[in-house]
Chains A and B, each alone.
Chain A
Amino acid sequence: MTPSTIQQDRIAYRRRQAIRSVLLAALSTAVLGTLLGVLITGAPGWQRVRQSFLDPHIGREFLPTILQGLWLNLRMLVVCSLCALTLGLLVAVLRTLRGPVFFPVRALATLYTYSFRGLPLIIVIYLFAFGIPGLRLQATPNVTVLGGAAIVITYGAYLAEVFRAGIESVHPSQIAAARSLGLSYRQAMRFVVLPQAVRRVAPPLLNDTVALQKDVGLISLAGPIDAIRAAQIGVAQTANFTPYVVAGVLFVLLALPLIGITDWVTLRAARRQNAGA
């Protein structure tokens, strides 16, 4: 069926408007880009900055060792985020337990989330990596494992609070419905509350995982040669900051897929909510 004349007019008008919008966007981007380019490259110290931060030879020289370090970051990212998510979920569930028997468990879980969200990660890494070996116990794990444990424990506290927010966002009528069917508290939690809670907080959980990915670099403070440590060695050898820039770019590239997934999940959740789900 061909649209009426008035609808054809509307379609033509909207098409003209769309073309105009694209042209305008292209023009304003070009203007802003040129302006920024002129401003930065025209700065009096630009040549010096380019030499000490963007030296292609030095960048190429240290790329392999930085990449090698990044492999450690990547492995730590995977292991730490999985462990931190598990720990967070466990602590969040422990905090919801009722009954007098669980008082100490609840109290401990609460104390944990309060203290480790306040404690700077750097201090936790120092305490773990240098404090625990100081105890001279048999079979002390190496500093990489200890540093990883510090990251897991710190992030576990944040993630526990995200999970808890999710659990509390599930309406009490859902628990009432589950209990009325004869499900025990544990079953209601497992089959009804947690699946809904985790879906709801998936975007903030992933966002915290992106933050964790950057902070994995902090274990370089404890000694292991990760991407940042490798870059630092390069900087010390050449008195040039290019290795840091290389490491920074690599970190961004590493984060991109996770950021993309986070945006996608967030968008999907928003769409579902708009659909009235």
Chain B
Amino acid sequence: MVLSCDGVRKTFGAAVVLDGLSLEVGEHEVVALIGASGSGKSTLLRCVNLLAEIDDGTIRLDGEDITDPRTDADLVRRKIGLVFQSYNLFPHMTVLDNITLAPVRVHKRPAAEAKEQALEWLARVGLADKATSYPDRLSGGQQQRVAIVRALVNNPRLLLLDEVTSALDPELVGEVLTMIRDLKGDGMTMVLATHEMGFARQVADRVAFLDRGSVLEQGPPEQVLGDPVEARTRQFLARIIEAGRL
């Protein structure tokens, strides 16, 4: 298992956001997290990346307990990529500098080599001409693709995608989803929180429905999205269909 979460609990004051959540993700597997707002999808991703500290349970990366307080969080984060809903590119740096910052400063790779790799990636995702642009000159879809490249150049073991298309105009969603589909083709292990049910069905090997801070139901996309066992999953999907999102 690349990632295994066991009995993870996370509270913010009185609010219990993750309540004994368990989830396993195998090598080359793509797991889509679905569920209502506040069901804990984003919180789980932040906990896995150690940006938030869990209150109980364990999270293992390649079998190693990363929630042990003695682990070096910086070392763990080097192996996990995280892409945010709001891109969070660094506005004072060019696209190229955004991408090469971690390879050069964290992984201590030669600047020329990091630049070459960044340019290759940009060419691959169709943004070669944007290398010297600043993020505010890019569309949302372009910014999000740069953010994904920025996470990928660290060669992560695991890529976490936190509702990466939620802030995008509908006509820009496709370009980001195409990129993620390509990554699946490359064998990247991914966990993605998403509201795009159609996309989850296409790209995910497994869909996990989060409800009240734990995984209520999980399985192949056709089963969870097409013929859910749990009543709450059915309710959730009914609301999604009502909103015209499936």
Query: Do A and B actually bind?
Result: yes
A272 to chain B, nearest CB (A): 9
Known: A180-B51, A183-B106. A277 touches B88 (CB 8 A): no
Q: Which residues of B contact A178 (CB under 8 A)?
A: 90
Point out the residue from A177, A183, A192, A275 that lies within 8 Å of B84, measured CB to CB: A177
Are the CB atoms of A181 and B154 closer together than 8 Å? yes
Point out the residue from A180, A183, A275 that lies within 8 Å of B105, measured CB to CB: A183
B77 to chain A, nearest CB (A): 5
Is B11 positioned at the interface, with any CB of A under 8 Å from its CB? Answer: no
A173 to B147, CA, bound (A): 13
Interface residues of A (CB under 8 A from B): 173-174, 176-184, 187, 191-192, 195-196, 199, 275-277
Number of interface residues of B (CB under 8 A): 28
Known: A174-B90, A191-B105, A276-B136. A182 touches B84 (CB 8 A): no
Chain B 129-176 residues near chain A, CB threshold 8 A:
134, 136, 150-151, 154
Interface residues of B (CB under 8 A from A): 46, 49, 51, 73-75, 77-78, 80-82, 84, 86, 88-92, 101-102, 105-107, 134, 136, 150-151, 154
Q: Which residues of B contact A181 (CB under 8 A)?
A: 77, 101-102, 106, 150-151, 154
Are the CB atoms of A180 and B86 closer together than 8 Å? no
Q: Which residues of A contact B46 (CB under 8 A)?
A: 176
Known: A173-B84, A173-B86, A174-B88. A179 touches B51 (CB 8 A): yes
Number of A-B contacts (CB under 8 A): 63
Are the CB atoms of B49 and A180 closer together than 8 Å? yes
B74 to chain A, nearest CB (A): 5
Q: Which residues of A contact B92 (CB under 8 A)?
A: 195-196, 199
Q: Which residues of A contact B101 (CB under 8 A)?
A: 181, 183, 191
A173-B86, A191-B90, A196-B91 given; name 17 further pairs at CB < 8 Å: A173-B84, A174-B88, A176-B84, A177-B90, A179-B74, A179-B77, A180-B49, A180-B81, A181-B151, A181-B154, A182-B77, A182-B78, A196-B90, A196-B92, A199-B92, A277-B134, A277-B136
Q: Which residues of A contact B49 (CB under 8 A)?
A: 180
Known: A191-B101, A275-B136, A277-B136. A180 touches B90 (CB 8 A): no
A191 to B91, CA, bound (A): 12
Known: A180-B77, A180-B82. A192 touches B90 (CB 8 A): yes
A89 to chain B, nearest CB (A): 17
- The 3 A-B pairs of least Cβ separation, nearest first, read A177-B88, A182-B78, A181-B102
A276 to B139, CA, bound (A): 12
A53 to B153, CA, bound (A): 70
A88 to B186, CA, bound (A): 49
Q: Which residues of A contact B88 (CB under 8 A)?
A: 173-174, 176-177
B208 to chain A, nearest CB (A): 22
Known: A196-B91, A276-B136. A182 touches B86 (CB 8 A): no
8 sampled A-B residue pairs with Cβ under 8 A: A177-B89, A180-B49, A180-B81, A182-B102, A182-B106, A183-B105, A187-B105, A196-B90
A30 to B74, CA, bound (A): 68
Q: Which residues of A contact B78 (CB under 8 A)?
A: 182
What residue of chain A has the Cβ atom nearest to residue B76's Cβ?
A182
